[in-house]
Amino acid sequence: MSDIFDKTVKKKPKEDLCVVYVMFFDEKRGQVPLLMYPDDRLRSDKRYMRPINFHPVWFLETEDLDHIDLEYKGYTFFGKKFLAKSKRQKRRAGLEEETPETIVIIVSIPVEIDIFGDELIKRLTEELRENFDDQLSEVIESEIASEAVIKTPKIHECISKGTKIKVFMRELIDKTIKDYFSKAIENRAESTSLKTQKAIAYFSLKGFEFSPLSSLKGDGSFANLELFETSKKPIELIGPKSILSITHLNFIENSQELEITIQNNTDKDLTNMSVTITHVKEFFEKVIMTQKVEFWFSLEELLFVSPIVPHINEYLVSIKQEDDHGNSNKILTHKIDLKLINKISS
């Protein structure tokens, strides 16, 4: 395990799980951290901030790609960019008060549990946008005001208002993370996927909530599950099955191709779908294959065959659906590691 998130900052047990960075675009200074979870002091720690400065999320368009992930020293960093309402007077010519604020959320979690990252960053973004869309510009204003050398009572008031909002934001982030991991672990406990089992093993080894001994479960537990529980029936998944699911993955060694079989799990035909296979090289996401699927019948399995890039093992499958207005909605994102899938000769 990498030591970039090591002992210098005092942590509670579950704070190892993830670090959340909420950043904003300052017209003078560029990307600046607005809030960090679990501890705001991390913003002055170079080891935490180094990967953030190079994350490809800065090149992400807010409208097109949904999010980008980057692997760095044993951690996967998921980054998502969006625009928030603003009434703040900008410090660059040509920008109006109404020019929206550019907010970036980055979540870093250990690679062993990165299967949870996609959904977690989506939830965090949704929660923050839903609850703080109108207030983010006030927090930014307070962040900028805190840099002022001479602080007038008005500036103090502005800083205090922003600080209060930040407390609520941090509480929301904390609650969202705990709720998410608790449910995600319960829902996936019976999964036969190697990646999921690896993630659960990680939680177990870290002594989170899967300890076989109930007595070890305390406040730090996320889920009411035990690793070797035999008395209960298998837990049924709550909520509807996902729209699409990957049913088979093969790596064809002869032709150096990746075969991905994906099923439409719904009882409806899907239209205007687009399937993209990418890989991240250095800090840039490169598209290897994009296929348009005009119609995808109910319960139909489709086979996508993508070439691979020599010496690159990790790929990302993204599936989007375009609505009548030309807006794309992400339906599925899945990371594929060639080292973990079937290898066949032809």
Q: How far apart are CA 296 and CA 73, in angstroms?
A: 39
Q: Is residue 305 part of the contact set for another protein (CB under 8 A)?
A: yes
Cross-strand partners of 252: 257, 344
Q: Which two structure tokens, joined as six digits, stand for 128?
A: 């923050």
Q: Is residue 21 part of the contact set for another protein (CB under 8 A)?
A: no
Q: How far apart are CA 166 and CA 285, in angstroms?
A: 32
For residues 332 and 122, the answer to whether their CB atoms sit within 8 Å is: no
Q: Is residue 300 part of the contact set for another protein (CB under 8 A)?
A: yes
DSSP annotation string for 236-294: PPPSPPPSEEEEEEEEETTTTEEEEEEEE-SSS-EEEEEEEEEEEETTEEEEEEEEEEE
Q: Is residue 293 part of the contact set for another protein (CB under 8 A)?
A: yes
Q: 87, 175, 178, 248: which one contacts another protein (CB under 8 A)?
A: 248
For residues 13 and 203, the answer to whether their CB atoms sit within 8 Å is: no
In whole angstroms, how far apart are CA 287 and each of 278, 309, 315, 318?
A: 4, 11, 10, 11
Q: Is residue 251 part of the contact set for another protein (CB under 8 A)?
A: no
Q: How far apart are CA 340 and CA 305, in angstroms?
A: 17
DSSP conformation class of 100: P
Q: Is residue 301 part of the contact set for another protein (CB under 8 A)?
A: yes
Contact segment (CB under 8 A) with another protein among 20-28, 121-129, 234-242, 285-293 equals 285-293
Q: 62, 182, 191, 291: which one contacts another protein (CB under 8 A)?
A: 291
Contact segment (CB under 8 A) with another protein among 37-45, 105-113, 127-135, 287-295 equals 287-295
Q: Is residue 139 part of the contact set for another protein (CB under 8 A)?
A: no
Q: Is residue 272 part of the contact set for another protein (CB under 8 A)?
A: no
Q: 212, 297, 329, 337: which one contacts another protein (CB under 8 A)?
A: 297
- Cβ closer to another protein: 184 or 244? 244
Contact segment (CB under 8 A) with another protein among 126-134, 190-198, 226-234, 298-306 equals 298-306
Q: 137, 278, 306, 333: which one contacts another protein (CB under 8 A)?
A: 306
Residues in contact with another protein by the rule CB under 8 A: 248, 250, 257, 259, 261, 275, 289, 291, 293, 297, 300-307, 346
